[in-house]
Amino acid sequence: MGASRSGAEKALDMLRCLPRIALGNVKNSQAPVRRPRGRGQYGGDKHGCGNKGSGQRQNYMRPGYETGNNPFYLRFPYEPYYQGHHLKKQYLPLPLTQLQRMIETERIDASKPIDMATLYGSGLFPGEVDMRIYGFNLTDEGADSFKAKINIEVQWACEGTIAAIERCGGVITTSYYDLGSMWVMRDPEKFFKKSEPLPRRPMPSQDVILYYTDPKNRGYLADPEEIAYHRLALAQKYGYNLPEITEDDPMYETLMERKDPRQILYGLEPGWIVNLVEKEILKPKSKYLVDYYTG
């Protein structure tokens, strides 16, 4: 009995120390854990994807798509400055500072003509042909520190860039290439493995024809005599002495090398087939093929 009274006394002492029962410390009993049903029990044999429709076929509408005969972009007036925006040509920016660094680090050889194939061959630029990128835009960033004497062909250049190239005794040409030619320039070796004839380069589209025929832009379709005149005029405008390109110059052949308006790669004419296995070049002999590729 003494042990029982001792235990009862201990229990009473513990109850005296415990807090009073109130609304703040009263809790419900723990709810039983409900096990979810199996996968096939949620929506029957449809597994929660509904009956037919996008849920089962997983053919959800693309983001921004709106159904009906009067969607958002037709309910409101159009913005004319967006007309043809998806067709506008884009160019990868190439600053003169990066070009100078590529030459100094021997990423590209300045003793040879530089074109789009040379720049892509450096491995520093993505060849996003599908993104409607039509080449390179040589910007004038770092024009004051540019010192390389090169013969470069790009697709777009401003007046300051042209002055920076010609001040060092170099030559710059702006040329147009369509997307079909871009595939060849992006990876010539991959194209050669197809054993297909080199395509001829088409003429510029209507939206850029004036740019590539303007001698101020050093367009490849401009008159060479007018280009020589504007070279001198630009030197007088920016206040530098225009270096003459003479036959005594060790880079004379490099600086004077040009592409035909129908030509894509240096040294290879349209219609030629490059055989990498036999290491030979197949040239067309039929008159109608020669007329087609040279016309």
Predicted local confidence at residue 120, as pLDDT: 92
152 is written with which tokens?
């470069």
**Cβ atoms of 257 and 114 closer than 8 Å:** no
Q: 138 has which bridge partners?
A: 94, 157
Predicted local confidence at residue 91, as pLDDT: 92
**Residue 227 and residue 113: Cα distance in Å, rounded?**
19
Residue burial 261-292, b: 16+ Cβ < 10 Å; e: rest: ebbbbeebbbbebbeeeeeeeeebeeeeeeee
Give the chain's domains with CATH numbers: 87-294 (3.100.10.10)
**Residue 134 and residue 113: Cα distance in Å, rounded?**
19
**Residue 279 and residue 35: Cα distance in Å, rounded?**
73
Q: What is the largest CA-CA distance in the chain?
A: 128
**Residue 133 and residue 173: Cα distance in Å, rounded?**
18
Full-model pTM: 0.71
**pLDDT averages per 10-residue partition of the chain, 295 residues:** 70 82 78 72 66 82 86 77 79 95 94 94 79 89 93 96 95 94 91 93 93 96 95 95 92 93 94 92 91 85
* CA-based nearest residue to 115, from 218, 264, 283, 292: 264
Predicted local confidence at residue 219, as pLDDT: 96
Tens-place pLDDT, residues 76-134: 876 777 777 778 888 999 999 999 999 999 999 999 999 999 999 998 887 666 678 89
